[in-house]
Amino acid sequence: MPTRATPTVRQQRLGAELRKMRTAADVTTDYAGGLLGLDRTKVSNMEAGTRATSPERVRILASNYECTDASYIEALAEMAGYRTRGWWEQYRGSLPQGLLDVAELEWHATRLRTVQTVHLPGLLQLSGYARAVFTSAIPALPTSEVELRLTHRMQRQRVLERETPVQYTGYVHELALRMQFGGRRATREQLEHLCTVSERDDITLRVLPIAAGEFPGAGHAVMYAHGPVPQLDTVQLDSAHGPEFSHAPGQLTKYNAHMDWMDGHTLDTQASRDLIHTIAREL
């Protein structure tokens, strides 16, 4: 199989899990190569995500690494066997790879939970609001780049519109509701849209009121993407230089706890909707 110059986060993740299984079994890349009829360089490339593998090879390795978690093994095999070209691939070479990785992560998640403290959730943004977010960047983005990012963001919302939409929970700080990206009218339309989509069974929107005071992870926008098994969960953090991804067990535990904290301290769905309506009427 040919090597990849720039593997996606998902491809790197599969390789990292294969490496994790091998090191847990305390065997070498030479041993793994012998199982597959490959030299150790190709095994290393596979574990780096720069070389593709197959479901059959994943199962061979897992068996010889004495991994007994059937659900985990099948989830990895499914990752290895996925060959469908995602819609985000049309932007490869035009947008930063991190933005494509976010879209791919969302598409393959079984559940999404996000915390937003300044911006409203990207998957629920209207174009007027999203355009204002992109035009506020420093240094300023060219108009063509703004429009390309806007189109990409609108297409990301397909994960909520497909036949089996992802289950989405958004925890939004009240301050984010009061930030007027795009002006009063655009913000009012955006808040009314949030109220509408929050009525859907697959979308839960809950507000952390200002009166709640301090909260964990203050200042960070976080997405917790649940995988088909807990070992394949991923955390994505927003930063000024692009998205950051982590799947270290300690980080997953920490941010899962952040989400649970939000669940216990935010307003319920109806009270959240009422507050959003109130803020919209003030505009």
Angle (nearest 5°) at CA 244 between 9 and 72: 45
At 74-93, the pLDDT tens digits run 999 999 999 899 999 999 99
Number of separate domains in the chain: 2
Q: Give yes or no for residue 1 having a pLDDT over 70.
A: no
Task: Specify the CATH number for the domain of residue 44.
Answer: 1.10.260.40
| Domain annotation covers residue 3 | no
Q: Which of 61, 81, 101 is where one domain is finished? A: 81
Q: Which domain holds residue 234?
A: 90-282
Does 133 lie in the same domain as 181? yes
Task: Specify the CATH number for the domain of residue 205.
Answer: 3.30.870
Burial state string for 200-235 with b = 16 or more CB within 10 A and e = fewer than 16: eeebbbbbbbeeeeebbbeeebbbbbbbbbebbbbb
The CA distance from 65 to 53, in Å, is: 16
The CA distance from 199 to 196, in Å, is: 6
Q: Tally Cβ neighbours within 10 Å of residue 45.
A: 20
CA 230 from chain center: how many Å? 15
Q: Give yes or no for residue 4 having a pLDDT over 80.
A: no
**22 Cβ contact list (under 8 Å, min separation 6):** 29, 32, 47, 61, 65
| Domain annotation covers residue 216 | yes
Q: Are 136 and 80 in contact (CB under 8 A)?
A: no
Closest CA to 109 of 235, 227, 13: 227
pTM value?
0.95
Determine the average pLDDT of the residues in 259-273: 97
pLDDT of 279: 97
Does 277 lie in the same domain as 161? yes
DSSP 3-state assignment of 258? Answer: helix
Helix orientation angle between 70-81 and 9-25, rounded to the nearest 10 degrees: 140
Q: Are 151 and 94 in contact (CB under 8 A)?
A: no
Instruction: Give, for 172, the enclosing helix (H) or strand (E).
Output: strand 167-173
At 46-81, the pLDDT tens digits run 999 999 999 999 999 999 999 999 999 999 999 999
pLDDT of 3: 64
Does 249 lie in the same domain as 144? yes
| Domain annotation covers residue 4 | no
- 246 beta partners: 235
Closest CA to 32 of 67, 74, 70, 68: 67
Q: Are 166 and 110 in contact (CB under 8 A)?
A: yes
pLDDT of 5: 75
